[in-house]
A and B are shown apart, each in its own frame.
Chain A
Amino acid sequence: MEIGYYPGCALHGSSNDYEMSVRACLNVLDVQLRELDEWICCGATAAHALNRKLALALPARNLALAERNGMAEMLSPCPMCSMELIKAGQAVSQDAELRGELSEIVELEVHGSTSVLNLIQVFQKIGLDLLGKLGARSLEDFKPACYYGCLLTRPPETLRFDDCEQPNSMETILRAVGAEPVDWNYKTECCGAGMTMANEDTVLELSHRILTNAAAHGANCVVVACPMCHVNLDMKQADIERRYRVRHDMVVYYLSDLVGLALGLDEHSLGVDRHFVVKQ
């Protein structure tokens, strides 16, 4: 299967371990990623906080490029990017006037015809039966707390993905490959997102609560499908431990890490050994 691919800035920057993991895992599953040429930043929070039009135009430019390349489907492993792309796609497909205006702004016709998928949806497309069948290694020692954060399910009327209060799509995938996800309370609480540098206090507090709740429910790792969630829970974990005088020692995996491990890949080829918190 070939699928379009929009990495977004994080996966080509400090979250390149996420891209490594996604690529390694999908390669085993015979999914070829065709990266969008000349993709640009989706604008993220900065755009929607500072300029409404820009928050539509930047993703619209990417959608127009994807359409020009004939991409029917495009994977966007970062939920911030995928939400912005989906939101812009819906806006242009529902509003002819806006479609015309944005097409002029981005210098390409845009219709919003490419469907944008998150990583969970790509695994669903591959099929859970197949994932289970291909499993080469048992994950029964893994008791992950599946952490969805904000933008995999919100806003629900835009994304129409999973249940925005009680999501379980990651649990379903991980059960199919033999892991035993725990029930816990903080699946959709925010980790502080992109405020890691500008408002660290908030990030440390929110992320501390998430890690604490995961451990209290018997999780021995946390699984995410978002680069920002990983930064806050993994890279900032040492700062959290210093601030709150606790030891979390909580390994944080990307969803593709655990699926990859189940498929028989090793930690090195998935980039797991490049995380900040590693299993002792």
Chain B
Amino acid sequence: MAEYMDVLPNQLIRLVQLDRADKAMKADAVWQCVSCLTCSTRCPKSVDCAGVIDALRQLSVEYEVASPRQRRTVLFQKAFLQNIRRHGRLNELELIAVFKTRSFIKDLDIPFLFKDSMLAPKMIKRRKFHLTGESVEDRGVVDRIFERCMSA
């Protein structure tokens, strides 16, 4: 993954050590990271680089400075959390609809809006879709767990 990164994981760690988390959290790499954990696993100093990147992601959202090039990824992850907060379990169709709509509002990219729609009939044919999605019965507890974690 490092080859796709503007700032490498070890460089992100160095920036944080130099008290430049403000610079590190803006890096494209922070949201380009796919959390494969290769950097943490192979770090000769046992630094949990992926954990530091997670912390930088949270800071980048808090200070609203996430790399604009990674807008879609940030939107996707936020929509994912909202989705499971609502249902307790992921409703894939709703996630896709919400994510695509919000991306479109931001970038007006029509091809991206419809890009995966060709996949839908193929997935339905293979019964790889839960059309209505599942919800847990006690959605109240899920919402309260989110509330407590978000306010902490």
Contact = CB atoms under 8 A, between A and B. Distances in A.
Interface string A170-197: 0000000000000000001010111101
Interface of A: 9-10, 12-17, 38-41, 43-54, 57-58, 61, 104-107, 150-151, 154-156, 164, 188, 190, 192-195, 197-199, 202, 235, 274-276
B7 interface: no
Interface of B: 1, 4, 32, 34-38, 40-41, 48, 54-55, 57-58, 61, 72-73, 75-78, 80-81, 84, 88-90, 92, 96, 99, 116, 119, 122-123, 126-130, 133-134, 136-138, 141-142, 144-146, 148-150, 152
A54 B36 contact: no
A105 B99 contact: no
A276 B136 CA distance: 30
A14 B123 contact: yes
B41 A105 contact: no
7 contacts: A9-B84, A44-B80, A51-B149, A107-B144, A192-B34, A193-B36, A274-B128
A190 B129 contact: no
B126 A46 contact: no
Nearest to A41: B84
Given A41-B89, A54-B145, A58-B145, A150 B36 contact: yes
Given A190-B34, A193-B35, A45 B92 contact: no
